[in-house]
Amino acid sequence: MNSFGRIFRVTIFGESHGESVGLTIDGCPAGLPLMEDDFITDTERRKGGMQKGTTPRKEEDIPIFKSGVYNKHTTGAPLTILFENKNTRSLDYEKQRAIPRPGHADFVANKKFGGYEDFRGGGHFSGRLTVSLVAAGVVAKKLLSSPLEKDTKIKITASITEIGGEADIEQGLQKAIDAKDSVGGIIECVVSGLPIGLGEPFFDSVESLLSHAVFAIPAVRGIEFGTGFPAARMFGSEHNDAIQDMEGKTKTNHAGGVVGGLTNGNPLVFRAAIKPTSSTPKEQESLNWDTGLIEQFSVKGRHDLCIALRVPVVLEAVTAIVLADLLMLEQRIPGIITN
Amino acid sequence: MNSFGRIFRVTIFGESHGESVGLTIDGCPAGLPLMEDDFITDTERRKGGMQKGTTPRKEEDIPIFKSGVYNKHTTGAPLTILFENKNTRSLDYEKQRAIPRPGHADFVANKKFGGYEDFRGGGHFSGRLTVSLVAAGVVAKKLLSSPLEKDTKIKITASITEIGGEADIEQGLQKAIDAKDSVGGIIECVVSGLPIGLGEPFFDSVESLLSHAVFAIPAVRGIEFGTGFPAARMFGSEHNDAIQDMEGKTKTNHAGGVVGGLTNGNPLVFRAAIKPTSSTPKEQESLNWDTGLIEQFSVKGRHDLCIALRVPVVLEAVTAIVLADLLMLEQRIPGIITN
Amino acid sequence: MNSFGRIFRVTIFGESHGESVGLTIDGCPAGLPLMEDDFITDTERRKGGMQKGTTPRKEEDIPIFKSGVYNKHTTGAPLTILFENKNTRSLDYEKQRAIPRPGHADFVANKKFGGYEDFRGGGHFSGRLTVSLVAAGVVAKKLLSSPLEKDTKIKITASITEIGGEADIEQGLQKAIDAKDSVGGIIECVVSGLPIGLGEPFFDSVESLLSHAVFAIPAVRGIEFGTGFPAARMFGSEHNDAIQDMEGKTKTNHAGGVVGGLTNGNPLVFRAAIKPTSSTPKEQESLNWDTGLIEQFSVKGRHDLCIALRVPVVLEAVTAIVLADLLMLEQRIPGIITN
Amino acid sequence: MNSFGRIFRVTIFGESHGESVGLTIDGCPAGLPLMEDDFITDTERRKGGMQKGTTPRKEEDIPIFKSGVYNKHTTGAPLTILFENKNTRSLDYEKQRAIPRPGHADFVANKKFGGYEDFRGGGHFSGRLTVSLVAAGVVAKKLLSSPLEKDTKIKITASITEIGGEADIEQGLQKAIDAKDSVGGIIECVVSGLPIGLGEPFFDSVESLLSHAVFAIPAVRGIEFGTGFPAARMFGSEHNDAIQDMEGKTKTNHAGGVVGGLTNGNPLVFRAAIKPTSSTPKEQESLNWDTGLIEQFSVKGRHDLCIALRVPVVLEAVTAIVLADLLMLEQRIPGIITN
């Protein structure tokens, strides 16, 4: 299924080289101000900007509202937004179809959909669809910052902590350039201002829902909360966060803001590991379906040296989607937004 | 919500010190042979056995079929199983209620449920409920090993790779004993025999569904697939797994058997990080709700030195649950099991 | 699936002649007072009382709380309730298995579940499971009457309007007795005190959700809202309900309190048609599976002359379930009930 | 929610006077041939044709595939289709906004969405969205007629049985014309060729799912299966359908092809009652919101004398949607359609 969320429910659709990609949000409250301009910052961030390493195809990524917006506000009806695909070069992909690209979904998609899949540019598997996630995130973030009860002020910030194994982004990218190869990275997301008690024990734990959404982002290979994997090497007395006051503030935050599946009022902290871009400039070997032989092969098309550079805004987006849904379930975002 | 799965749908319920814990599986095919004895191996494994470090309360954990089984086979109707709680010592918990245990859900549960939660032994947040997960896993595993098409033979194995930072279990536990503290660990799960194409791109990726289920296990702090976090430090040409034959077999398995959100026919491999048991023998500080003061405090009740020892069978269980659901969605497990 | 509801979610399970039938409610707010005694009135009403025509098997129907209740209040965790089956006579059913009872699910259940179904007394298809619906309704009704905003006071009343084609119940039943046959009836349900705006246009219209739940009651053959089928014979100017004041009160109520799929603040009114009890004392013909021949056949076991007599409380129950869920979706029932 | 279906899942969106209306189908198998021309017959039927009584606005209703179709076949990815709104006259609606139209959702929509709703032409509540249902039905029907197992041949036919209380359509419409009023009608839907065992007991009974979908069609006020409401006036021995052979063929079909919530292999038969068009030419009274006074009022805009004339194809569509989903759940439609 291409949908996520129980009340604030996002559906994404589209293919890399089809007419457009898009999304529908069902369950978005009425009255939220929403305009094209609200999307610019995040859709631009997703493009990866001027940094070396990101040379994605240039799409304008102007949101086209197809339903659910009237007089610059959400109506409460399903909100459908399209982004046109203009800058596509499908010919590149037609040529190389016989050789499934290593690290990409070409092979598995073909097996699953019997050859009917739109394979051009990865089709529905393409990172192009993250623009739909980002757009849903824009709406979710606006909900999170709409006047909630009292002085709650939720803030989501994802940032790069590591590229190509280096803490310095420039250095990590240079490594890739020097090696004529691609690199990965690690992104950390921090959310402050959350109320206590979002989530449920077991299946709908905050970690379950967030990881579900985070692994929807292509190239994510791992996720950890708070201290994460290193927690497995700590003593219990070290890892436990001592509660300090009646609001649940803890002395340390090894738990990353989630205990028993529920937010505990401290900053929510988690990290995602992003694999190196599969489309590396290096020659690789892969199978040629037509001949059944292993061939040397190098990927055509425009690609990023380091896809991780573009992930922070997508990570924020899926986080906002999860939190908007949880806040609505807890009745902390009203059904009609009024100011 | 305490349910998971689209077709093979598991609901768990119960509290640590209530009458019983249990589960309902809706959507289980008819005709699957099912008896009490089928559960022994896995419910025993969950108890953690004889290893030092596991001193859980001793429950018999005999499954009581309440519905859905007739003549030793599943009927196709909802399958409800109870496990009685006999060996409970609630008094311990009544006494220490004023001090929310560090690392436990006591504080957040109280905030979320307004004091109405059954707090005894962690109530519905207790690790006791993993027996429900294990039981669902037993049924799921039986489905996976029921004669599927051709020679498919699915095998799920989770094992401990690290305890307290040591590759040797004994050594890791001794560390905890020496320090009079608790330790965590890392569990790896490997699944062989999966067909190509389980899962969907984006929201219903295999990683999304598995991580969703895995974070339902208390104490899990991170999950990674294939090479996982270290993948973020590799070059693309290193990380890509070259396809070797028409069945999709790859030369390496950095992807851990999942590409584009879909299984690729190679072994599915992932690891979960387990935090050290929150209930450590060490004295800790926490807030006393009644007085509003920070107190020195040590946890009462019986607890494990290392909860990670008991996780492998639970990890296998949630993995089996996810895979049974995906296999049914792909029409690879029939609605009636016949031999 | 044996579950219903998005936030207030009810799952039912059990078989007529199994150990017990039961239900789990997930998503029930914490803090709702709940005791065995709360169930007596409605479980007794379901038995059909002293009226001639109802001679059901006599079960005590005492609710056994298995989880989700502590100190006589709901905890916010899944609420599981069992009702034991004591008064079963399975032998009757074993004998007649070769002949699928006309009007019952025996034949279709056998085809669907390949003979693995628990056929005794209809198994999971039995009207016995309506006790689970009634119990869920008891909880839902309590939520509806818990102090909602302002002076809202929701009241659900279902009553028999017709038995065996007669407006008088006694007369309708006498008809059945005289004919040595069974009869059906029509039940009307009226709900007052609902706020405006519950439901959604199209798929989640109030009519969609209510009819979904109402057809979960065995023996229901039709449902109509407001004027219902006769509306198809009216002129538009007759049928339209003129709005009279700013609260939406209408002059007439042909719409039965639902317009555009949403409650409009006027009483919700609908009727369900109940077929005559399938197990009639009359001899009937049916196929004998073993011989392949048509046989004369008369149903063994204890049965009602008129199952419709027992439906009102079940109709109220499913109505309450739907409304509790919709009120929670509209944030009109809080997550913690406090008085 | 504006979605329906568990595996074959339809989401509809759009407003009467917005840019477009549309739909997304998630879970549609790959390989189904699909072209614009496939939609013509049913979208034309929906317009109501040449019959007097239907004077809808004339839209071309050409499906615009936005995703999920490649090389004239479905790809297995979400299928999004738009229909443009060209022929809108919003000014009519702006003028009359102060007076909520009787029988329409104007009043309740305003209360639910706080005035943010797109009110023009009924906005998201408009019958215009039935074109999305019809389009989903076209895809579902194609699935139903794709080569299923053996000789299964499913056929869905809805037809008008009554208009304005008359069995003759012309006569019924003339009644409306003479009275300068609108009329309703009754539509019957018959499905042949269904396998035994679709559906589940209780919540997912075939009647539950179908009625859920049928009440998503605006103007439906009642639904009945088989003999329906008159069944409530029959004796059990009359109503029971005697099974005649090993395929479950019954002598009569009072059950309308559903027993115990499951299809029984006989034709599925149900009827829906359609209210008279709310927008009648007759003057009516309604409240003026601005003044708080009751006013005489007559509806502007183009409207049908009898909306029931346009319902048959919509009824077929939602029926096909439900059945496609049930057939996929029962693994009777493969994940890849190949011929």
Among B2, B29, B12, which residue's Cα sits nearest to residue B325? B29
Residues D218-236 have a mean pLDDT of 98
pLDDT at C151 over 70: no
Percent pLDDT > 70 in chain D is: 93
pLDDT number for residue C123: 95
- A190 forms beta bridges with A157, A269
Distance CA D64, CA D35 (A): 10
- The per-residue pLDDT of chain A, averaged, comes to 93
pLDDT in tens, A82-119: 999 987 777 767 777 889 999 999 999 999 999 999 99
pLDDT number for residue B286: 87
Query: What is the DSSP secondary structure assignment for residue D16, as one 8-state letter?
Result: T
Distance CA A32, CA A20 (A): 25
On whether the CB atoms of residues B271 and B224 are closer than 8 A, the answer is yes
Contact A67/D19, CB-based, under 8 Å? yes
pLDDT number for residue D299: 74
Which residue in A331, A336, A337 has the most chain C C-beta atoms within 10 A of its own C-beta, making it the best mutation to test that interface?
A331
pLDDT number for residue D324: 98
pLDDT number for residue B149: 58
Helix (H, G, I), strand (E, B) or coil at B283: coil
pLDDT number for residue D199: 98
Residues B300-313 have a mean pLDDT of 87
pLDDT at B45 over 90: yes
If one compares B90 and D268, the residue with the highest pLDDT of the two is D268
Residues C9-28 have a mean pLDDT of 97
Residues B211-227 have a mean pLDDT of 98
If one compares A91 and B197, the residue with the highest pLDDT of the two is B197
Distance CA C14, CA B82 (A): 13
pLDDT in tens, B122-169: 999 999 999 999 999 999 999 998 766 566 689 999 999 999 999 999
Q: So what's the ipTM on this one? A: 0.97
On whether the CB atoms of residues B35 and B24 are closer than 8 A, the answer is no
Distance CA A316, CA C187 (A): 52
pLDDT in tens, A49-72: 666 666 656 778 999 999 999 999
Residues C85-91 have a mean pLDDT of 79
Interface subset of A 208-237, CB within 8 angstroms of B: 208-209, 211-216, 218, 220-229, 231-237
How far A167 CA lies from chain D's nearest CA (Å)?
A: 38
Does C18 lie at the interface with B, CB-CB under 8 angstroms?
yes
Contact C334/A331, CB-based, under 8 Å? yes
Query: What is the DSSP secondary structure assignment for residue B314, as one 8-state letter?
Result: H
Contact B331/D329, CB-based, under 8 Å? no
Q: Which region among B127-136, C24-33, C279-288, C324-333 has the lowest average model confidence (pLDDT)? A: C279-288
Please name the amino acid found at residue D208: S
Residues D4-25 have a mean pLDDT of 97
The size of the A-C interface in CB pairs under 8 A is: 14
pLDDT number for residue A64: 97
Contact D336/A113, CB-based, under 8 Å? yes
pLDDT number for residue A103: 93
Please report which confidence band the pLDDT of residue D97 belongs to, taking 50, 70 and 90 as the band edges. Answer: confident
pLDDT at D321 over 70: yes
Contact C15/B70, CB-based, under 8 Å? yes
pLDDT at C211 over 70: yes
Residues D172-200 have a mean pLDDT of 96
- The per-residue pLDDT of chain B, averaged, comes to 93
pLDDT number for residue B308: 96
Q: Which region among B23-27, B207-211, D57-61 has the lowest average model confidence (pLDDT)? A: D57-61
Which residue in B329, B330, B332, B337 has the most chain D C-beta atoms within 10 A of its own C-beta, making it the best mutation to test that interface?
B329
Q: Is the model's pTM score more than 0.90?
A: yes
Please report which confidence band the pLDDT of residue A151 belongs to, taking 50, 70 and 90 as the band edges. Answer: low
pLDDT at C61 over 80: yes
Secondary structure element (H or E) that encloses residue D211, with its range = helix D206-214
Interface subset of D 148-177, CB within 8 angstroms of A: none
A218 is written with which tokens?
């292509």
Please report which confidence band the pLDDT of residue C87 belongs to, taking 50, 70 and 90 as the band edges. Answer: confident
Other C-beta atoms closer than 10 Å to the C-beta of C55 total 12
pLDDT at A149 over 60: no
On whether the CB atoms of residues A2 and B200 are closer than 8 A, the answer is yes
Distance CA A100, CA A242 (A): 52
pLDDT number for residue D165: 97
Burial of A151 (0-12, 13-18, 19+ CB in 10 A): exposed
**Which ranges in chain B belong to alpha helices (H)?**
40-47, 90-95, 106-113, 130-145, 169-179, 206-214, 236-239, 311-329
On whether the CB atoms of residues B324 and B330 are closer than 8 A, the answer is no
pLDDT in tens, A38-55: 999 999 999 876 666 666
Three-class HEC string of A80-101: EEEEECCCCCHHHHHHCCCCCC
Residues D280-287 have a mean pLDDT of 89
Distance CA D255, CA D259 (A): 7
pLDDT at B270 over 90: yes
Distance CA C21, CA B67 (A): 7
Which residues make Cβ contacts (< 8 Å) with residue D313, sequence separation at least 6? D42, D45, D46, D134, D137, D158
Distance CA A276, CA C249 (A): 63
Looking at chain A, how many residues does it have? 339
Please report which confidence band the pLDDT of residue B106 belongs to, taking 50, 70 and 90 as the band edges. Answer: very high
Residues B41-50 have a mean pLDDT of 86
pLDDT number for residue A272: 98
Dihedral, D207, D212, D216, D222 alpha carbons, nearest 10: 50
Secondary structure element (H or E) that encloses residue C186, with its range = strand C185-192
Please report which confidence band the pLDDT of residue C302 belongs to, taking 50, 70 and 90 as the band edges. Answer: low
Please report which confidence band the pLDDT of residue A152 belongs to, taking 50, 70 and 90 as the band edges. Answer: low
Please report which confidence band the pLDDT of residue A147 belongs to, taking 50, 70 and 90 as the band edges. Answer: low
pLDDT at C247 over 70: yes
Contact D335/B335, CB-based, under 8 Å? no
Question: What stretches of C106-176 adopt beta strand conformation (E)?
Answer: 155-163
Does C282 lie at the interface with D, CB-CB under 8 angstroms?
yes
Residues D304-308 have a mean pLDDT of 93
pLDDT number for residue A331: 95
Nearest CA in chain D to A117: D75
Helix (H, G, I), strand (E, B) or coil at C44: helix
Residues of chain B with Cβ-Cβ distance to A294 below 8 Å are 242, 244
pLDDT number for residue D59: 79
Question: What stretches of chain D adopt beta strand conformation (E)?
Answer: 3-4, 9-14, 20-26, 64-67, 69-70, 73-74, 79-84, 155-163, 185-192, 220-225, 258-259, 262-263, 268-274, 284-288, 293-297
Q: Which residue has the tokens 């098309």?
A: A301
How far B310 CA lies from chain C's nearest CA (Å)?
A: 24
Please report which confidence band the pLDDT of residue B53 belongs to, taking 50, 70 and 90 as the band edges. Answer: low
pLDDT at C303 over 80: no
Q: Which residue has the tokens 């022929």?
A: D87
Burial of A318 (0-12, 13-18, 19+ CB in 10 A): buried
Please report which confidence band the pLDDT of residue B79 belongs to, taking 50, 70 and 90 as the band edges. Answer: very high
pLDDT in tens, A194-252: 999 999 999 999 999 999 999 999 999 999 999 999 999 999 999 999 999 999 999 99
Q: Which one of D6, D201, D334 has the shortest CB-CB distance to B331?
A: D334
Residues C175-183 have a mean pLDDT of 95
Three-class HEC string of B93-106: HHHCCCCCCCCCCH
Interface subset of C 49-68, CB within 8 angstroms of B: 65-68
Measured at the CA of D166, the angle between CA D161 and CA D167, to 5 degrees, comes to: 40
Q: Which one of A9, A22, A114 has the shortest CB-CB distance to D338?
A: A114
Residues C275-292 have a mean pLDDT of 91
Please name the amino acid found at residue B150: K
Measured at the CA of D195, the angle between CA D191 and CA D201, to 5 degrees, comes to: 95
Residues of chain C with Cβ-Cβ distance to B15 below 8 Å are 67-68, 70, 75, 77
pLDDT number for residue C217: 98
pLDDT number for residue A59: 79
Residues C25-43 have a mean pLDDT of 97
